[in-house]
C-alpha cells in the first residue's frame, strides 16, 4: 500500500499538487485523470525520481530512504540516453540492480531485433517495450507503469496483460483506455477524489 500525505508540488509558480492526500491500496490499480493533471508527476515522486516536493510518501506505513530500491517506473518522462542501444540500457539495469537478463520478456515482446538499435532511433512502440522490460526486470515490490499500452501493437498489449495478471508486485498504472486492464482485475481510482 502506498499512502501520499499532504503532497505539495509546484512547477515554477503553478501548483500541481496542494495538500494532496491519497491511499493507493489496491494490488492492481489504474489511476484515471485527463492529461496534464499530474499523473506522471505523481508517479515520478512515488518512484523517487523527483524529490522537489513537500509531504510524505509512505510504503506500507513507512518512509523508505531510497524509493528507487523498491519502486520500478516505466514512463516516457524518464530520459534514457539516446546514444545507448537498448541492449546497453538493459545491461546497465541488470548490472545496477543485480537483475537477471530478461531474455523471456525480450522474446515475448519480439524485441530481439531492436536490441542493438540506439534508444533514440527506436520507434515510440519499441521505446515503450524497452521501458517496460527495463522496469519489470527489476522485480521490485512496487511497479508503476505510466500509460503502459500507449504506442504498443495489439500483440504486445496482450503480452503485457499476461505479465500483469499474476505479477506479485503492487502494480499502479495510468491508462486512457483501461478496459483491458479492468478485465484482468485492475481497479480504477480517480487521481482526485
Give the tens place of pLDDT for each residue, 30-45.
999 988 889 999 999 9
**Average per-residue pLDDT for the chain:** 95
Identify which of 171, 150, 189, 193 has the alpha carbon closest to the alpha carbon of residue 72: 171
Window from 13-17, 95-99, 119-123 with minimum mean pLDDT:
13-17
pLDDT value of residue 190 = 95
Superfamily classification of domain 27-33+65-190: P-loop containing nucleotide triphosphate hydrolases (3.40.50.300)
Q: Assess whether pLDDT exceeds 80 at residue 193.
A: no
Scanning the chain, the segments in alpha helix (DSSP H) are 39-46, 86-96, 103-108, 124-136, 154-165, 179-183
Q: Assess whether pLDDT exceeds 80 at residue 50.
A: yes
Beta-bridge mates of residue 72: 143
pLDDT value of residue 13 = 84
Percentage of the chain lying above the pLDDT 70 cut: 100
- Strand 142-146 versus strand 71-74 pairing type: parallel
Give the tens place of pLDDT for each residue, 102-132.
999 999 999 999 999 999 999 999 999 999 9
Domain positions in the chain are 27-33+65-190
Identify which of 154, 176, 170, 188 has the alpha carbon closest to the alpha carbon of residue 58: 170
Amino acid at each position: 500500500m502506498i499512502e501520499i500525505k499532504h503532497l505539495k508540488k509546484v512547477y515554477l509558480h503553478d501548483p500541481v499538487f496542494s495538500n494532496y492526500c491519497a491511499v493507493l491500496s489496491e494490488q492492481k490499480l489504474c489511476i484515471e485523470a485527463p492529461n496534464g493533471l499530474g499523473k506522471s508527476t505523481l508517479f515520478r515522486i512515488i518512484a523517487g525520481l523527483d524529490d522537489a516536493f513537500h509531504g510524505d510518501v509512505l510504503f506500507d506505513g513507512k518512509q523508505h530512504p531510497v524509493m528507487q530500491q523498491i519502486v520500478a517506473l516505466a514512463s516516457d518522462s524518464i530520459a534514457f540516453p539516446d546514444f545507448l542501444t537498448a541492449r546497453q540500457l538493459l545491461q546497465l539495469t541488470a548490472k545496477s540492480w543485480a537483475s537477471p537478463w530478461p531474455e523471456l520478456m525480450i522474446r515475448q515482446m519480439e524485441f530481439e531485433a531492436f536490441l542493438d538499435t540506439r534508444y533514440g532511433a527506436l520507434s515510440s512502440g519499441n521505446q515503450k517495450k524497452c521501458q517496460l522490460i527495463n522496469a519489470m526486470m527489476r522485480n521490485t515490490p512496487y511497479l508503476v507503469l505510466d500509460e503502459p499500452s500507449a504506442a504498443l501493437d495489439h500483440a504486445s498489449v496482450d503480452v503485457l496483460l499476461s505479465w500483469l495478471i499474476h505479477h506479485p508486485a503492487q502494480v499502479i498504472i495510468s491508462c486512457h483506455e483501461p478496459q483491458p486492464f479492468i478485465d484482468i482485475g485492475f481497479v480504477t481510482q480517480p487521481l482526485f477524489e
